[in-house]
């Protein structure tokens, strides 16, 4: 072979030598290590195999939690093959072992969360209830904690909610969670949506006084169907038996703004309502048509979202998407109607109406985003935002959407008629660095707010009162401009 096929013979010898060299490396990995090349991972596993294995297992558990992957992922064929390549000497834990690791990790997080709650000065709650696609009810509770002059929002509970979504069941679930978390003495208020069951769950009985009467509820063992009697009792005698005090409830202002939008759209003329339906039909056709989607992608037109009754500002997002598409390519919506099985054709008058509707709803979309912030207090932005929306509606010029504009104005005046008499929001707005008293319209309003704040200062310790009084004595008209100030000023 060496004489007849010298090239093949040379290749064969090279292959034999290469195999021998690889075999020697596997038997003695440190014998032929070049300088600057990292040692194999097996060396480190031999030195500290137990600690590294625990570190890898902990990293896998974090991956499963953050990615919301099932525990069975550790037995997935592709997952197992990956770790065989990355760490040949590491043995993946079984599903049972990983489940125990996840429980330990959750207990550690729960302990850390309780320490955070215990270390907070005060907190406010946000709760909601919803139903999954499998018709399972859930109750969620978030806490916004004031800890070392910082606001931190954490989801502290997501419990399965069994039974009807009545006010009594909601109040019972809320009381159980407050007792478990030990926040009854720190809880300053609760924010919920404006559903009737939520309002009733946190609303004191108007027929009772806070000092003398208590509404008794039937116990689970009580089989008597007769109506319960209201009796006059001394609250101090039963205070220890009912340690949970219902804090003040505040309706979600962002949700209230969505109700204002709904009211405004209900006041629209028949032509505008028909136009909204035509737009929704056109967008639904685009989402179901490959040709229409390819046409929009060809012209680099952004995705047009569909309206959704449970998604805030979805109508505004749809109208904005349609106008943006038409601005990108003139006549693109007509081309979409031609290639897609749709009979919807938007006339120039329809496009003008859509632009007016988008202009009206844009103020509410911006206000909703402003009030959804979790990194800064938003109670001080409530009154300036409402005042700003009212001014924006007054200044808006409409030719085709006047009915919607009038409906929005009437709903704002009706749903937020109480806002200018609420001391909590008045004080918050006046003490907000981004707003102060810039939103007031008359001198009487400023004097009224100052008198309310002075009354609160009189009830404070002298040290805190001096600091707040010094703050109120500064010039309220020229705070330093920041990004937060700019956003707040746009709503005024």
- C-alpha distances in Å from residue 298, one per residue of 281, 328, 337: 22, 12, 16
Residue 125 DSSP SS3? strand
Query: What contacts 115, CB < 8 A, 6 or more positions away?
Result: none
Q: Which pair of tokens denotes residue 306? A: 């569909």
Q: Give the other-Cβ count within 10 Å of 110's Cβ.
A: 11
* Strands, sheet with 137-147, edge to edge from the N-terminal-most edge strand: 150-160, 137-147, 122-131, 187-192, 249-251
Q: Find tokens 């043995």 and name the residue.
A: 91
Residues in the chain: 492
pTM of the model: 0.70
Helix (H, G, I), strand (E, B) or coil at 257: helix
Nearest to 364 by CA among 383, 381, 380, 386: 386
C-alpha closest to that of 353 among 260, 285, 268 = 268
- State the DSSP H helix or E strand holding residue 214, giving kind and residue range, or none if neither: strand 213-214
Per-residue pLDDT of the chain (492 residues; tens, 9 = 90+): 556 666 666 666 677 676 666 666 555 554 444 444 445 555 544 555 557 888 888 899 989 998 999 999 999 999 999 998 888 888 889 999 999 989 988 888 889 998 999 989 889 999 999 888 889 999 999 999 988 778 888 999 999 999 999 999 999 999 999 999 989 888 988 999 888 999 898 876 544 434 333 333 333 444 444 444 444 444 444 444 444 677 888 888 999 999 999 999 999 999 999 999 999 999 998 898 898 889 999 988 888 999 888 888 999 999 999 999 999 988 888 888 888 877 888 899 999 999 999 999 999 999 999 988 877 788 889 999 999 999 999 999 999 999 999 999 999 999 999 988 888 899 999 988 888 888 888 888 888 889 988 888 888 765 444 545 554 555 444 444 444 444 444 445
Q: In whole angstroms, what is the distance from residue 256 CA to residue 422 CA?
A: 16
Q: Please tell me the distance from the alpha carbon of residue 328 to that of residue 300, in angstroms, as a whole number.
A: 8
Q: In the structure, how many helices (H) and strands (E) does the chain have? A: 20, 7
Cα–Cα distance between 171 and 201 in angstroms, integer?
A: 5
CA distances for 360 relative to 297, 365, 487, angstroms: 29, 9, 18
User: Shortest CA distance to 189 belongs to which of 124, 110, 96, 116?
Assistant: 124
Contact status, residue 122 vs residue 188, Cβ threshold 8 Å: yes
In CATH terms, the fold of domain 121-211+230-251 is Nucleotidyltransferase; domain 5 (3.30.420)
Kindly give, in sequence order, each residue whose CB lies less than 8 Å from that of residue 239, ignoring residues fewer than 6 positions away.
none
């Amino acid at each position: 072979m060496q004489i007849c096929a010298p090239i093949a013979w040379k290749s064969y010898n090279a292959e034999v030598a290469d195999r021998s060299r690889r075999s020697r490396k596997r038997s003695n990995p440190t014998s032929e290590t070049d300088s600057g090349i990292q040692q194999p991972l097996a060396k480190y596993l031999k030195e500290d195999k137990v600690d590294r294995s625990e570190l890898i297992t902990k990293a896998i558990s974090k991956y499963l939690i953050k990615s919301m992957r099932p525990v069975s992922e550790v037995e997935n064929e592709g997952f197992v093959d990956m770790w065989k390549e990355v760490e040949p000497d590491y043995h993946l834990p079984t599903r049972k072992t990983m489940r125990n690791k996840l429980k330990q990790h959750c207990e550690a997080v729960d302990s850390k969360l309780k320490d955070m709650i215990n270390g907070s000065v005060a907190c406010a709650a946000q709760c909601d209830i919803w139903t999954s696609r499998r018709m399972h009810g859930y109750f969620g509770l978030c806490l916004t904690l004031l800890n070392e002059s910082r606001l931190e929002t954490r989801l502290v509970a997501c419990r399965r909610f069994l039974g009807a979504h009545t006010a009594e069941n909601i109040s019972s679930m809320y009381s159980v969670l407050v007792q478990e978390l030990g926040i009854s003495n720190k809880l300053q208020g609760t924010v919920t949506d404006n559903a009737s069951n939520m309002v009733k769950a946190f609303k004191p009985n108007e027929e009772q006084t806070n000092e003398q009467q208590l509404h008794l509820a039937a116990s689970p063992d009580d089989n008597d169907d007769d109506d319960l009697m209201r009796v006059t009792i001394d609250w101090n005698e039963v205070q220890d038996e009912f340690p949970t005090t219902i804090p003040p409830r505040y309706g979600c202002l962002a949700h209230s703004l969505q109700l204002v939008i709904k009211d405004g759209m209900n006041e629209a003329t028949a032509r505008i309502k028909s136009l909204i339906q035509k737009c929704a039909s056109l967008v639904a056709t685009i989402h179901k048509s490959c040709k229409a989607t390819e046409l929009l992608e060809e012209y680099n037109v952004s995705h047009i979202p569909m309206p959704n009754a449970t998604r805030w500002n979805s109508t505004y997002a749809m109208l904005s998407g349609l106008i943006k598409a038409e601005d990108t390519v003139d006549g693109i919506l007509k081309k979409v109607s031609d290639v897609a099985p749709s009979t919807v054709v938007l006339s120039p008058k329809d496009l003008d109406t859509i632009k007016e509707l988008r202009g009206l709803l844009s103020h509410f979309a911006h206000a909703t985003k402003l009030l959804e912030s979790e990194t800064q207090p938003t109670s001080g932005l409530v009154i300036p935002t409402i005042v700003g929306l009212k001014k924006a509606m007054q200044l808006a010029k409409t030719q085709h959407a006047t009915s919607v504009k009038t409906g929005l104005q009437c709903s704002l005046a009706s749903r937020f008629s109480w806002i200018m008499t609420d001391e909590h929001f008045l004080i918050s707005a006046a003490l907000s660095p981004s707003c102060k008293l810039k939103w007031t319209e008359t001198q009487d309003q400023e004097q009224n707010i100052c008198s309310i704040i002075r009354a609160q200062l009189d009830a404070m310790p002298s040290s805190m009162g001096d600091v707040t009084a010094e703050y109120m004595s500064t010039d309220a008209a020229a705070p330093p401009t920041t990004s937060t100030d700019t956003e707040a000023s746009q709503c005024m």
